[in-house]
Amino acid sequence: MNEIEHAVVIGGSSGMGLALAERLISQGTETTIVGRSVERLAAARKHLEETATGPLHTHAADIADEDAVRALFEATGPIDHVVLTAADATGAYQPIRDFDLKPAHALLDTKLFGAILTAKHAAIRPGGSLTFVSGIAAYRPLPGGSVVAAANGALASLTSALALELAPVRVNTVSPGWVDTPIWDSIAGDAKHDRLAAMAARLPVGRVGTPRDIADALVMMMRNRFVTGTVLHVDGGHRLV
C-alpha cells in the first residue's frame, strides 16, 4: 500500500461516518467524505479541518445512483479503504400490512444496492478493505421494522460472498446497536431521550453507543489485515437481552 493511505467514507458528513472521518484524518490518513448534501459536506469539512493532519476531500454523490457511484470512484482513483455508513431509513418503520414501498426502495437502494454498486466500482488496492455498516435491527428487530431488519441482515450474506470474490481485498461488516446519532431525531422525535435512556438501562454496558464507539470498531476492521468475511457486533450486549 501507499505510505499514506486513502480512505473513502460514504455517509461521512454526519453521525458515525463523521466520527470515523475525524479519527482517520487525525491519524494522517487521506480521507474523502461522501454525502448527498453539499451543505452538510461543507459543514463537515469545516469541522474536520480543525483537527486534520491528513488530506481531506469532499464529494457529493447519491450512493443509490450508479452513474454517481461510478463518477465518485473515477474521481478518487485507486484507494485503500471504503466504509459505507449511509442509509436512507426515513419512513422505513411501518407495519407490514400497511407498508408503503417507496421508503422500502429508498432504504434498500442506499443500504444494500449502494453497497453492491460500491463493490462494483471502487478500485481498492490489494490488501485494502471494504466495510459495511448494518445494525442490531437484523438480530433484534422492532415491530414495524421488518424491512429494516431485512436490509441489515442482507449485508451479512453480501459480506461473506464479496470476501471471496474480491479477495485479497478484505470485506467486513460492523453491526452497531443503538447509537445516539441524528437519525434518532427522525425515528423518535421528542421521545428520543426517553427511548435511549430506557435502552441504556437494559444493556449490560449501562449505556447506548456513541459515534466514536463505532468509529473505533471501523478503524479496527480497516487496519487488521487478518480479518475478512466477518460481522463485528458493537452493540453493548444488545443481542443478549
Question: Amino acid letter at 104?
Answer: A
Q: Please tell me the predicted confidence (pLDDT) of residue 185.
A: 75
Q: Is the pLDDT of residue 184 over 60?
A: yes
Q: Which of 23, 14, 217 is nearest to 132 (CA)?
A: 217
The rounded distance, in Å, linking the Cα atoms of 137 and 153 is 8
Query: Please, which pLDDT band fits residue 171 given cuts at 50, 70 and 90?
Result: very high
How far is the C-alpha of 36 from the C-alpha of 68, rounded, in Å?
Answer: 10
pLDDT digits (tens, 9 = 90+) for 121-162: 999 999 999 999 999 999 999 999 999 999 999 999 999 999
Q: Whose grid coordinates read 449502494? A: 114
Residue 1 belongs to a domain: no
Dihedral of the alpha carbons of 86, 153, 180, 32, in degrees to the nearest 10? -30
| CATH at 99 | 3.40.50.720
Reference 133, options 29, 235, 238, 231; nearest CA is 231
The answer to the question of residue 27 being in a domain is yes
Domain housing 221: 6-234
The domain tally of the chain equals 1
Output the pLDDT for position 3.
67
Q: pTM value?
A: 0.94
